[in-house]
């Protein structure tokens, strides 16, 4: 198909050649007339091309040339393309303006990072939080500019499901949460949030709990002591004896809660990492085995499998607390005719301590919340058995300080297995 322009051009050339042939026949020089006519047409076209070029080069200053025929078509087409481009450009700058307004209004800082963690773009809030300068810092690696060691470790670990909290500077009382988020191909967003208020509230909460439990401990010890003395009196009537026994039970429970709160506060206020003191796990477990086997409330079948001679590098009181909490829970929630297996073993992944029981088990909906403070599946039963609801919180915190994790597998009415996984770096001695 012949395009629009050529529907104009072709008949014109043919008409010109026909006219040149007629004139040529009249004057007797057909070839010469055709050649002259084509030269004139070519010259005219060059002139129009020149006008078109001049207009294209100075579009803002010069009006489009007023040409008819194919050149008129070319100019109309160019004007249309130019208008469309202008429209899109305007739209695009509107979108960019909107985006800039939006990112400036965001309460969070956003930094766009490339494959090598080099800064590609950031919003004003990120500049303020991290002290970035637009002209100077674009293209530099983020870890050269945000130099807090916690952030470097976070980047090296490359596990970005949780944010990392850093202090803005050694002197400032501002805490920032930094989280990497995958974005585009190989790119990442660094989302920066001011969490100073949350950190302050959390510190106040921890201080309050620590102070309150310390303050409660001494009066409670005194009350429990007097109750014990009164309950020892052989001439008590039955009613008073029952009341005193209940008081003994309740004060023991309160003491357990206070002791657990103090342990938890101690774990939370300590550094994030436990010391690396050698703990002889087989020896510790053999002592615990002796104590457990002497307990009257335990189930009949109790087995300790110490499959490794290796020990743990950590804090002995915390490891003891982990083991005794898990064993204590298994005893509390397993009937007398049940079975409990305690096992310590080491493999290439690290050290593992597990307590498996054939007790009441836990329904799946409770499992994610089990390590929360005071979370109990059956509050009545837990209280009746003297539970504070803090045991698994203590286990989780103590494990975290040793770089370990807690795995819970449980089926209702079948039993539960609690497994502590310690990293290889925390295992010492023969396996």
Q: What residues contact residue 357 under an 8 Å CB cut-off, 6+ apart? A: 299, 330, 333, 334, 338, 339, 340, 341, 415, 416, 417
Rounded Cα gap, residues 108 and 129, in angstroms: 9
Structure-token match 């585009």, residue found: 184
Residue 333 engages ligand ADP in binding (rule: CB under 6 A): yes
Rounded Cα gap, residues 355 and 184, in angstroms: 45
Selected range binding ligand ADP among 73-81, 137-145, 315-323, 382-390, rule: CB under 6 A: 382-390
Rounded Cα gap, residues 78 and 158, in angstroms: 52
Compare residues 41 and 252 and give the one whose CB is closer to ligand ADP: 252
Site string for ligand ADP, 308-327 (x = CB under 6 A): -----------------x--
Closest approach of Cβ 221 to ligand ADP, in Å?
21
Residue 367 engages ligand ADP in binding (rule: CB under 6 A): no
Count CB-CB contacts under 10 A for residue 14.
10
Q: What residues contact residue 286 under an 8 Å CB cut-off, 6+ apart? A: 304, 306
Rounded Cα gap, residues 65 and 52, in angstroms: 7
DSSP-derived 3-state class of residue 147: coil
Selected range binding ligand ADP among 125-133, 229-237, 262-270, 373-381, rule: CB under 6 A: 373-381
Compare residues 346 and 360 and give the one whose CB is closer to ligand ADP: 360
Compare residues 206 and 376 and give the one whose CB is closer to ligand ADP: 376
Give the H or E element holding residue 77: helix 69-105
Closest approach of Cβ 331 to ligand ADP, in Å?
9
Compare residues 179 and 419 and give the one whose CB is closer to ligand ADP: 419
Compare residues 308 and 354 and give the one whose CB is closer to ligand ADP: 354
DSSP per-residue codes, 227-281:
HHHHHT-TT--HHHHHHHHHHHHHHHHHHHHHHHHHHHHHHHHS-SS---EEE-H
Q: What residues contact residue 234 under an 8 Å CB cut-off, 6+ apart? A: none
Residue 123 engages ligand ADP in binding (rule: CB under 6 A): no
Contacts 24+ apart (CB under 8 A), 197-202: 199/165, 199/175
Residue 359 engages ligand ADP in binding (rule: CB under 6 A): yes
Closest approach of Cβ 327 to ligand ADP, in Å?
9
Rounded Cα gap, residues 93 and 270, in angstroms: 53
Closest approach of Cβ 370 to ligand ADP, in Å?
5
Site string for ligand ADP, 383-412 (x = CB under 6 A): ----xxxxxxx-------------------
Residue 251 engages ligand ADP in binding (rule: CB under 6 A): no
Site string for ligand ADP, 411-430 (x = CB under 6 A): -----x--------------
Count of residues interacting with ligand ADP (CB under 6 A): 23
- For ligand ADP, the binding residues (CB under 6 A) are 325, 329-330, 332-333, 357, 359-360, 362, 370, 375-378, 382, 387-393, 416
């Amino acid at each position: 198909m012949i395009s629009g322009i050529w529907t104009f051009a072709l008949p014109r050339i043919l008409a010109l050649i026909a006219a040149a042939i007629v004139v040529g026949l009249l004057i007797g020089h057909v070839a010469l007339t055709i050649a002259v006519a084509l030269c004139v047409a070519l010259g005219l076209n060059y002139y129009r091309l020149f006008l078109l070029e001049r207009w294209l080069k100075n579009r803002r200053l010069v009006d489009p040339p007023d040409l008819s025929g194919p050149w008129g078509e070319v100019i109309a087409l160019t004007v249309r393309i130019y208008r469309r481009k202008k429209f899109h450009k305007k739209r695009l700058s509107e979108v960019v303006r909107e985006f800039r307004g939006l990112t400036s209004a965001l309460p969070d800082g956003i930094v766009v990072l490339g494959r090598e963690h080099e800064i590609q773009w950031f919003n004003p809030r990120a500049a303020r939080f991290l002290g970035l300068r637009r002209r100077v810092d674009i293209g530099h690696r983020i870890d050269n500019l945000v130099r807090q060691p916690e952030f470097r470790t976070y980047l090296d670990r490359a596990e970005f499901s949780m944010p990392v909290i850093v202090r803005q500077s050694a002197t400032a009382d501002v805490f920032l949460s930094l989280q990497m988020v995958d974005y585009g191909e190989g790119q990442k967003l660094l989302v920066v949030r001011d969490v100073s208020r949350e950190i302050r509230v959390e510190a106040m909460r921890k201080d309050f709990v620590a102070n309150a439990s310390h303050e409660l401990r001494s009066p409670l010890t005194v009350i429990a002591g007097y109750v014990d003395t009164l309950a020892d009196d052989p001439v008590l009537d039955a009613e008073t004896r029952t009341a005193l026994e209940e008081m003994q039970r309740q004060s023991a429970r309160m003491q357990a809660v206070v002791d657990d709160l103090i342990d938890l506060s101690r774990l939370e206020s300590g550094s994030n990492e436990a010391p690396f003191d050698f703990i002889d796990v087989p020896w510790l477990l053999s002592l615990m085995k002796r104590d457990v086997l002497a307990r009257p409330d335990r189930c009949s079948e109790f087995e300790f499998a110490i499959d490794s001679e290796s020990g743990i590098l950590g804090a002995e009181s915390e490891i003891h607390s982990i083991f005794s909490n898990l064993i204590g829970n298994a005893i509390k929630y397993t009937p007398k005719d049940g079975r409990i297996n305690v096992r310590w073993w080491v493999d290439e992944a690290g050290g593992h301590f597990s307590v498996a029981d054939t007790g009441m088990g836990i329904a799946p909906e409770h499992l994610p919340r089990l390590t929360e403070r005071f979370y109990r599946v059956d509050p009545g039963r837990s209280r009746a058995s003297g539970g504070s609801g803090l045991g698994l919180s203590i286990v989780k915190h103590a494990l975290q300080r040793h770089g370990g994790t807690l795995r819970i597998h449980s089926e209702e009415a079948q039993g539960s297995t609690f497994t502590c996984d310690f990293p290889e770096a925390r295992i010492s001695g023969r396996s």
